[in-house]
A and B are shown apart, each in its own frame.
Chain A
Amino acid sequence: MPAARPAHDATSLPPFGDHPFARLDRAAVARALSQVADRPGDLADVYFERSEVVELPPEDRPPGVRLRREEGLAVRLLRPAGTGRHRVGTGEPGSRGGETWLAARDEVTTDALADALRQTARVLPTASYPLPRIDPGPWGDRDGGDGGDDGDLAAPEVLTFPGAVQRAVRSHRAAFPAALTVRRHRRWLQVVGTGKVVPEPQAEGFYSVEADLPWGRWGGLFPSLGQAAAEEVAAALVERFRCRDAAPPEPFTGALVLGPAAAAVLLHEAVAHALEADLLALGGDPEAAVGVPFASDLLNVLDDPAAAPGPVRRESDDEGQGVRRRWLLRGGIVAEPLADARWAEGSEVLAPGAGRRAGRHHLPSPRSSFLELLPGDHPQEDLLADAEGGLYLAEAEGGDLDALTGTFRLRFAGGRRIEGGEAAAVVGPCEIRGRVADLLSAVTGVGDEARPGGAGWCAKDGQSMAVWASSPALRLEGVEVTAPGGAP
């Protein structure tokens, strides 16, 4: 059975140093923006972004170190429709819920901002406010402070991590080929909107690890990278190794225990996505979801970006709206959908603060950042003891939700049979599928220890973003387990 996921690790991200947008004259930007939002109800914002990914590929795949840096800005204008915000698909003008304009540039300069403002404005003002000088400064000076070429790029924690994983794998008395790719992700943001409060600059950083194995791929996200993360990766890879030739379980309907990592994926797909305002709107009015019994009354789920692990903690979202501790499910009943500014506009039920975007060339949409499933009162031993004959599934390979039909699928590369109250013999790949509400209603036990960590990469709308969660283990009963892929 994989080792428990650590809450903290010894080696954290290097300090973010001076924020590249800390000295931005936000008031001047806001004044210029006010000329774009020239009608009552208009929302407009400028999104400044700088990001960096340092990547160490597997040792036999040159180029040996990869660095991707980018910066840019985008100006956005949202103009709500007069009526019918949630009427969709009628083909009538205005039935789409207002209009959006965006202009994005791959540079952060005064000229780039001026161009983007001009292209976004529906009406050009006869006189305009002067724009501030915009200069995020050079890359190399930010952290190292030495003005050198490579001040902050040594990334020793990335370079040494594959070796640490190898040693940890050996400590499990296992040896197998695993091609590791390790990345350090950092992002600096500043959003200036037309609201009364201009948010502070935001920064986030984390690590991702991918492993190509002869029997499949594995991936994980970490807020910090050190020995504990290496142990966690090694444990997951060794478990994959041990499941590699195991036969899939015979299809059955019965009990499952999902480990915290697998439960985090379940939460993201089946709770967070299912309660995003834009996806709810595919089936009707998102506000109508509030108060609907949706899951077992054991499930209490929140999204709280401000409670995320330190390096990915946020005070405001990617629209510059303050984040909230948002109850998604209280006792299994829908409390509040995830919404961004567009869906919250004019609503007394939906609140902004969950708008996320992968970058300046994308529009924001509602998405979770850090989900929390409140712990229950079952030690993991009890969960296993009450699921005799079922499966223990520690990690999910991935999942998907069809928001139109409300059907859901969660895939597993392998797991273990529960025998004698313990996770015992290995089984091969399998999946669970069904209607979201049925699956969530099948939860009969919630573990007493929640573990924070990465829930994985979410690819909603083609925008790949890291999502995080804190979840205990879950026991489900009456769940149908099938071979991977089912028919086609």
Chain B
Amino acid sequence: MTRPGENEVGQGRGSERRGGERGGGERRGGERREGGRRFEPPLGEALEALEAAGFGEAEVYAKRGRSRRLVLATGRRGASYHQEAGWAVRASTDRASLFTTATGDLPADPTAGGHLLGGLLDTDTADGLPLALPRPDAVPRAAARWKEPSDYETPLVGETEGLRMLDALERELISEVPKARLLGAWLEDGSSDSRLANHHGVAGRWRLRVAVLRAEAALGTTRTSLELAAREARRLGPAAVARQLADRLVAAAAESSFTGRDRAEVILAPALAARLLAALTPMLVGPGAAQRAAVLADPKGRLASGAVTVIDDGRLDDGVLAAPVDGEGLPTRRVVLVEGGVFRGPLVSWRAARDAERRDTAGGRRRQGVGRGVQPAACSRRASWRDLPETAPSHLYLAADPEVRAGELVADLARGYYLVAATAAPRIDWGGGTSGGTFRVPVIGYTVRQGRAQGPLSGVSLTGTLATLLGGVRAAARDLTFFPYDGMVGAPTLRVSGLELRARG
């Protein structure tokens, strides 16, 4: 049986088996051995039952979780406690494949109980698409040994404690901006334990501890919201959240004197910088990313200023989604996507890398330039036991400069703007893959003169080419902050030149 913190990934002879082969496993006392690897029950029994039913390729996944949710909203103040349990099977014969999930504990024989597994073998439901599951050596192993965080066993936030946090958030907001209203605040604190095994000898267990706070506030008819995540609810300080909400409300509700357009330097607060980075994930993550990045990069791969380093780290210290393995049981690691402005390669799964390799081989091509020699990474994430694993970053971030305080970036700005947040999602025009693309994002913030914030700024959009956005980053501060988007996305305060602010009509 695998214990957390020990070898989490199978690397046995099972990796040499081909999909569609049957047998080969060995069973002892409820455990199953696969290529020298032991699967804890009932994972091993379930795999054996699937194999006996004719599934040559199979993966079993089981998850249990618990969470407490607190809410303070219009007409509602409450607490709830949730216990969740579910399992999933991905399996395939040589001519058909399926995905089936259900609540409760993983049964020792998932083919019983009418969960479709028997029916798929009928000719009329065969889709002709065998499923490929990863082998233990599908991605490079992590250089660093996984160290299990110590906070998994920390109690969930209590009902009274959590509601007091939300009450405090409302009080702090009103003390910052007396006419503000908290439309709602939602706090969820939870933990989960997932286990997975497949026929090739991949096996893993990972545990997560995640707290998410979402708050919506209004000042008159101006509305703003904020969503933050941490490993524990107790780390989400209501006073700091209230101040961020207040800053956004004041800037958004104020009459801005900005007209026309201006190309002065801008300071991007972490929330805005992270939101832009999240919008850029199509050029950093997935099979089409290298092509998008190639359009922006010079022949040496440079696509950003030297101040830009982008990393995805599935084992980030203190990361909300930190885990030894990804949603397919493969070992996570730190992957540098952009280093000192030079594109090193996108974050791609083993499957995308394999498909690209096959296409290149079939076409007799040899990839050149940006993205060549990309190594696959463990980057499959399961949103829940109901969902198939999807390629996604875990902790995607712009590296901080530990020597620079955010305040210094503002203090050094003679004339420009401090932009605190986006008021809607950025729009990216990728230029059809032939030009570098442009972006546009509605923002709020403050004008800055001689290093000091002056009047509020609203009703404006920040716009420019993607090349200018990436190439114009002059400095990064040390205040790296993560926000929950598709995975955790983080950025420090950035100073950027060359972009344009435009008044919105």
Contact = CB atoms under 8 A, between A and B. Distances in A.
Interface of A: 59-60, 62-72, 85-86, 88-89, 91, 93, 96-107, 115, 119, 138-141, 148-154, 156, 159, 277-278, 281-282, 342-343, 361, 363, 402, 404-405, 485, 487-488
Nearest to A282: B74
A278 B81 contact: no
B130 A152 contact: no
Select the residue from B71, B129, B440 with max chain A CB neighbours within 10 A.
B129
Contacts of A139: 102, 113-115
Given A62-B127, A66-B388, A96-B73, 8 more contacts: A63-B97, A65-B120, A69-B103, A93-B167, A96-B72, A101-B79, A138-B113, A152-B114
Interface in B388-435: 388, 423-424, 427
Select the residue from A59, A66, A138 with max chain B CB neighbours within 10 A.
A66
Per CB-CB distance, the 4 closest pairs between chain A and chain B, nearest first, are A140-B114, A150-B119, A64-B127, A100-B78
B101 interface: yes
Interface of chain A: mostly helix, strand, loop or mixed: loop
5 contacts: A70-B101, A97-B74, A106-B86, A139-B113, A149-B115
A138 B114 contact: yes
Given A64-B96, A106-B85, A485-B427, A149 B112 contact: yes
B77 A100 contact: yes
Contacts of A277: 75
B141 interface: no
A88 B97 CA distance: 52
Contact of A91 (B83, B126, B171, B461): B171
A88 B74 contact: yes
Contacts of B71: 100, 363
Nearest to A93: B167
Contacts of A485: 427
A227 to B, nearest CB: 19
Contact of A67 (B77, B99, B174): B99
B76 interface: yes
Contact of A104 (B72, B83, B116, B388): B83
A149 B114 contact: yes
A363 B99 contact: no
B500 to A, nearest CB: 13
A376 B128 CA distance: 51
A154 B504 CA distance: 54
Given A159-B125, A363-B80, A405-B221, A67 B92 contact: no
B129 A60 contact: yes
Given A62-B129, A66-B99, A88 B75 contact: yes
B375 interface: no
A70 to B, nearest CB: 4
A70 B85 CA distance: 10
Contacts of A97: 74-77
Nearest to B80: A102
B249 to A, nearest CB: 13
A154 B442 contact: no
A105 B81 CA distance: 9
Contact of A281 (B74, B115, B120, B218): B74
A60 B127 CA distance: 9
Contacts of B96: 64-65
A150 B102 contact: no
Contact of B75 (A71, A86, A405): A86
A107 B84 CA distance: 9
A100 B81 CA distance: 12
A342 B73 CA distance: 13
B204 to A, nearest CB: 20
Nearest to B100: A67
Given A64-B96, A404-B218, A487-B504, A107 B104 contact: yes
A156 B90 CA distance: 21
B81 A119 contact: yes
Interface in B115-147: 115-120, 122, 124-131
Contacts of B334: none
A324 B474 CA distance: 63
Select the residue from A91, A107, A282, A405 with max chain B CB neighbours within 10 A.
A91
Contacts of A102: 78-81
A69 B101 contact: yes
Given A67-B116, A138-B113, A149-B112, A488 B461 contact: yes
Given A67-B99, A69-B103, A106-B85, A150 B74 contact: no
Contact of B101 (A68, A363, A488): A68
B296 interface: no
B228 interface: no
A115 B83 CA distance: 10
